[in-house]
Amino acid sequence: MFTLGATNIILPKFDALEVLRGIERFRCTHLFLPPTAFYALLAHPQAGKFDCSSLRVFLLAGSPVSPDKLQQGVELFGPCMCQSYGQTEAPMLLTFLDAKTIAAAAAGNHPERLRSCGKPTSAVRLAIMDECGQILPANERGEIVARGTLVTAGYFNMPEATAEIRAYGWHHTGDIGYMDEDGYVYIVDRKKDMIVTGGFNVYCAEVEAGIMALAEVQECAVIGVPDDKWGEAVKAFVVLRNGESLTEGAVLAHCKAKLGGVKSPKSIEFREEIPKTPAGKIDRKSLRKPYWAHADRGVH
């Protein structure tokens, strides 16, 4: 934005209240946050007291966004919410979900698109691929793969790792998703974050989105933990909004009604906060570590 002559407002650290104050004070027009920080803005008790009408673009990226929270974002910040999807190997942007589409979805026009990360950009060709290298038709789940000048040529001095992500002539993102008939891409989860429980595949992001639909929940994280009966059991960590209360039974009942028995967590753990990576993403590795510390592998 500097190259366009824009003023950049830089805060010493993320603080929801200071961000809200900054938007109003400096009449900010553009804002980028990962979903975890976005959720903190929505949950702040003073969120609706600041004038955020100057915002033209409020970009979310870094991980899948809860569709319920995205709708709340439109209600609070107006028709400026948008979302992008990319990764270090194919940065900014593999897909883009524009503000107009999100605002329309929040108003009830194709509401399912609140779960999408958008359509492929002109810089790449995107497809969904199965384990055998076959391109899948619309609405079938597989790995998101990409081709194009945006994609990195490979990892420096790592030919084996480069070959692995270039299988079948495509760049493999490691993300599981599908594409609908209109070309919108939906990320289900990271391939490595998939939980296999009782022979069924359960995607962490799908369970998290279901729990985030509860108004009392600020954020949550889902992992698989070892289980003698199911192989892996779905476990959820939940952070409640200030002043709110929920029981484990209430969350479980909500999940069973919304997600079904297979995808519902077997246990809920309430926490004050969920560990994050330096990039602000959920640190699943640290969440999983105590449960898998004595296992000889990370699946059960």
List the domains of the chain with CATH numbers: 2-116 (3.40.50.980), 125-183 (2.30.38.10), 193-292 (3.30.300.30)
User: What pLDDT is recorded for position 17?
Assistant: 97
- Give the strands of the sheet with 267-270, arranged side by side: 217-227, 231-240, 267-270
Please state, in angstroms and rounded to a whole number, the distance separating the CA atoms of residues 53 and 24.
8
pLDDT at 298: 67
Kindly give the confidence (pLDDT) of every residue in the chain, 300 residues in length, as a single tens digit, with 9 standing for 90 and above.
889 899 999 999 999 999 999 999 999 999 999 888 999 999 999 999 999 999 999 999 988 888 999 999 999 999 999 999 998 899 879 999 999 999 999 999 999 999 999 999 998 999 999 999 999 999 999 999 999 999 999 999 999 999 999 999 999 999 999 999 999 999 987 787 889 888 788 989 899 999 999 999 999 999 999 988 888 999 999 999 999 999 999 999 999 999 999 999 999 999 999 999 988 889 998 999 999 888 766 666
Give me the pLDDT at residue 193, please: 82
